């Protein structure tokens, strides 16, 4: 027993001894060899210049301002005359900087193992540096290097499309080596979506240095991959026009080619992205988040609204595809319906009713009762299934981050969300785009392109990414051609027939437009209210959202225009005029070249 203990102790001793010898002779040798190599070789990364973002006419939306950063030599002792004098000389030229903050930044990066100059000022513009450069470069402890800073020349005109860059944090740096070295990353919009392309790839120089850290020779060099530009489908002129049309209102407008090319997309009000490039102030941030009109929200892809009557074309096609309700059969509208013995009235927007209503009239005059009656035969599950197929309540796949899917409900969804069964009354109000229904404006635009072409496109802002063209993508959707043709004629009537809900604003345009108005209720109407209060009499934030979605030309669809004015009341009188001005502008600029206004056959 005693011998066994001694042998065990002897073995443990030799294991520890051998382990220590390994640490000293091999492992630490590699460590110190690395340090020694680091003392004679330096690897300097060359930061790539971030790619620019341009519109379809090569107008700049995001560029790089040329400037300089200021660095100070390492290993200067705190409170030493060299360090204090150096900082004072910098602050003398640039009094807006605080010497205490600069010293704190220097101390944070200064260490015995750091042999590289320490950056204390990230960016000073070229104009500001011209006068100071000769004075500062006399001091050998100061190094001035060229830098770029992101700048958005059009300000708030395209913020929700382009987005902005901001300073990177530890989490960003841990995910991407380029971000870590460059120090900025795309935070929103296309800057975020295409960050890995726009930022390029790092280059580097490996140099040999002396004991005094002086460069002796260049051993290796690799140029960075840079200037990876993004050319968009966006027309900045149209973007500007829409911003002007939305003055004193809030909402969204999307103009899209039927193949998915987005020509303009405005979320209004907006904000200046330049506020975020160097770090936004607390006062500016508070002003943005406290604004009831939500300028910080990208309403194009993240704003969710009840679609109202704009859903009716898709709802009719859903009824047709279900096989449970005949669209050939007209419905009688007396201004409301009741379910069974229940006294509750599900009212049509017209308190007098529409009389006998076939499909085309149901679209033209937006009769609610037509859809109420059909929905009771079809049921919410089939309605939901086919509306999803038509692009509502699902993400579009647009090249913007933070897109929301919205909601086109069914029984399973309600049970999962609220642990409650589905009621027939909920089916009725869902049939006219109310209740739980929520969609984004980009979904409405995409769905309208489907109605115009039978193809469901993937919306895309980018036309060319780093020199490579983005090809359109779409799905072919099978629907009954006869009923789709009838629905299109109903949409034509909306804009061109005397009883159409957008006739007043859309019938005098130089091209034929087909569309649909919608009123997206914000508050419910009590049964006790026999005559509905006018939108203008309601509190502003209780008024309905006004929607209008359309395509043109009617005979040869090319473009979709979708407009939503928040708390605007009625689509025909509020959103319609904005859409009409957009079409006039597009016609004037040649977007409808060689198109002839031909009235379709009855």
Residue 537, pLDDT > 50, answer: no
Can you give the pLDDT at residue 43?
84
Residue 175: both structure tokens together: 């995910």
Name the pairing type of β-strands 215-222 and 468-469: unpaired
pLDDT at 251: 94
Q: Cα separation of 567 and 488, whole Å?
A: 28
Asked whether residue 433 is domain-assigned, the answer is yes
pLDDT at residue 183, as a whole number: 87
| 312 lies in some domain | yes
pLDDT tens per residue, range 411-422 = 999 999 999 999
At residue 14, the pLDDT reads 76
Q: Of 72-76, 187-191, 368-372, 517-521, which range is least confident?
A: 517-521
pLDDT of residue 365: 94
Q: Is 288 a member of any domain?
A: no
Q: Is residue 373 domain-resident?
A: yes
3-state secondary structure at position 278: coil
Write out the residue range of the structural domain in which residue 350 sits.
302-395+405-439
**DSSP secondary structure code for residue 547 in this structure:** E
**Structural domain contains residue 345:** yes
Out of 313-327, 472-486, 560-574, least confident range: 560-574
Q: Which of 96-110, 356-370, 539-553 has the highest mean pLDDT?
A: 356-370
Q: How far is CA 86 from the centre of its chain?
A: 45
Q: How many helices (H) and strands (E) does the chain have?
A: 23, 23
Beta-bridge mates of residue 268: 251
What whole-number distance in Å separates Cα of residue 159 and Cα of residue 53? 12
> What pLDDT does 114 receive?
81
Which pLDDT score, from 0 to 100, does residue 13 have?
75
- The answer, yes or no, to whether residue 594 has pLDDT greater than 80, is no
Residues 6+ apart with CB under 8 A from 586: 238, 255, 559, 592
Least confident of 35-44, 189-198, 430-439, 548-557: 35-44
Element (H, E) at 38: helix 28-40
Query: Taking residues 562-569, what's their average pLDDT?
Result: 89
Q: What is each CA distance from 293 to 250, 287, 306, 540, 602, in whole angstroms?
A: 7, 11, 17, 11, 44
Inform me whether the pLDDT recorded for 128 exceeds 60. yes
- What local confidence, expressed as pLDDT, does residue 596 receive? 66
Find the range with the poorest average confidence among 28-42, 193-207, 319-333, 583-597: 28-42
Q: Confirm whether 242 is domain-assigned.
A: no
Specify whether the backbone of 421 is left (phi greater than 0), alpha (psi in -120 to 50) or beta. Answer: beta
What phi and psi, each to the nearest 5 degrees, are found at residue 180?
A: -60, -45
Work out the average pLDDT over 299-314: 96
Model confidence at 543, pLDDT cuts 50, 70, 90, reads confident
Q: Collapsing DSSP states into helix, strand and coil, what is residue 405?
A: coil
Question: 595 or 135: whose pLDDT is higher?
Answer: 135
Write the CATH number for 320: 3.40.710.10
Q: Is residue 560 part of a domain?
A: no
State phi, psi for 357 to the nearest 5 degrees: -125, 105
Q: Does residue 280 surpass a pLDDT of 70?
A: yes
Cis geometry, peptide bond prior to residue 349 (ω within 30 degrees of 0): no
User: Tokens 């971030």 — which residue?
Assistant: 50
- Chain-wide mean pLDDT for the chain? 89
Q: Is the pLDDT reported for residue 35 higher than 60? A: no
Domains: count for the chain: 1
Higher pLDDT, 570 or 386: 386
Work out the percent of the chain whose per-residue pLDDT is above 70: 91
> Mean pLDDT, to the nearest integer, of 371-392?
97
User: What is the pLDDT at residue 517?
Assistant: 95
Q: Does a structural domain hold residue 370?
A: yes
The maximal CA–CA distance of the chain, rounded, in angstroms, is 112
Q: Find, among 317, 366, 365, the residue nearest to 486 by Cα.
A: 317
Q: How much of the chain exceeds pLDDT 90, in percent?
A: 66
Least trusted range by pLDDT, from 140-149, 355-364, 436-445: 140-149
pLDDT, average across residues 102-116: 86
- Name the token pair of 273: 């992205």
Say what the pLDDT of residue 516 is.
97
Answer yes or no: is pLDDT of 380 > 50: yes
- Please check the confidence at residue 387 and state whether its pLDDT lies above 50: yes
């Amino acid at each position: 027993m005693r011998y066994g203990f001694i042998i065990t102790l002897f073995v443990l001793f030799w294991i520890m001894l051998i382990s220590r010898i390994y640490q000293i002779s091999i492992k630490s040798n590699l460590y110190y060899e690395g340090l020694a190599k680091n003392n004679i070789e330096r690897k300097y990364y060359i930061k790539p210049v971030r790619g620019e973002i341009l519109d379809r006419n090569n107008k700049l939306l995001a560029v790089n301002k040329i400037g300089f950063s200021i660095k100070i030599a390492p290993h200067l002792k705190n409170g030493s005359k060299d360090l204090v004098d150096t900082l004072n000389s910098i602050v003398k030229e640039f009094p807006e900087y605080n010497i205490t903050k600069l010293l704190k930044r220097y101390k944070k990066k200064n260490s015995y193992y750091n042999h590289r100059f320490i950056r204390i000022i990230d960016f000073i513009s070229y104009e500001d540096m011209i006068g100071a450069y000769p004075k500062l470069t006399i001091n050998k402890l100061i190094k001035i290097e060229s830098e770029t800073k992101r700048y958005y020349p059009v300000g708030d005109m395209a913020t929700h499309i382009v987005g902005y860059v901001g300073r990177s944090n530890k989490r960003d740096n841990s995910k991407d080596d380029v971000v870590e070295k460059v120090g900025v990353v795309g935070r929103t919009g296309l800057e975020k979506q295409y960050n890995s392309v726009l930022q390029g790839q790092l280059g580097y120089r490996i140099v040999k240095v002396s004991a005094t850290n002086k460069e002796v020779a260049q051993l290796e060099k690799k140029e960075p991959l840079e200037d990876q530009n993004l050319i968009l489908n966006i027309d900045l002129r149209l973007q500007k026009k829409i911003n002007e049309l939305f003055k004193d209102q809030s909402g969204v407008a999307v103009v899209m080619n039927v193949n998915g090319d987005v020509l303009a997309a405005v979320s209004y009000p907006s904000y200046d992205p330049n506020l975020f490039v160097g770090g936004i102030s607390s006062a500016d941030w508070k002003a943005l988040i406290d604004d009831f009109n939500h300028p910080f929200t990208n309403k194009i892809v993240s704003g969710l609204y009840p679609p109202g009557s704009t859903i009716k074309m898709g709802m009719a096609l859903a009824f047709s595809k279900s096989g449970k309700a005949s669209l050939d059969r007209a419905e009688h509208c007396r201004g409301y319906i009741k379910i069974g013995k229940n006294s509750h009235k599900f009212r049509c927007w017209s308190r007098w009713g529409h009389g006998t209503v076939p499909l085309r009239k149901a679209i033209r005059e937006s009769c609610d009762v037509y859809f109420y009656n059909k929905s009771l035969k079809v049921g919410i599950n089939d309605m939901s299934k086919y509306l999803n197929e038509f692009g509502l309540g699902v993400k579009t796949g647009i090249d913007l981050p933070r897109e929301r899917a919205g909601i086109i409900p069914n029984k399973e969804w309600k049970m999962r969300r609220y642990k409650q069964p589905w009621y027939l009354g909920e089916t009725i109000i869902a049939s006219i785009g109310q209740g739980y229904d929520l969609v984004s404006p980009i979904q409405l635009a995409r769905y309208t392109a489907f109605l115009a072409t039978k193809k469901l496109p993937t919306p895309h802002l980018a036309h060319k990414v780093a020199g490579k063209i983005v090809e359109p993508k779409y799905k072919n959707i099978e629907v009954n051609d006869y009923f789709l043709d009838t629905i299109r004629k109903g949409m034509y009537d909306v804009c061109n027939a005397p009883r159409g809900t957008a006739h007043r604003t859309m019938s005098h345009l130089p091209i034929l437009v087909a569309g649909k108005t919608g009123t997206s209720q914000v508050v419910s109407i009590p049964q006790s209210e026999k005559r509905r209060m006018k939108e203008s009499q309601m509190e502003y934030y209780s008024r309905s959202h006004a929607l209008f979605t359309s395509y043109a030309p009617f005979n040869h669809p090319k473009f979709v225009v979708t407009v939503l004015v928040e708390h605007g009341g009625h689509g025909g009188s509020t959103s319609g005029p904005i859409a009409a001005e957009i079409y006039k502008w597009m016609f004037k600029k040649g977007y409808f070249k060689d198109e002839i206004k031909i009235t379709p056959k009855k």
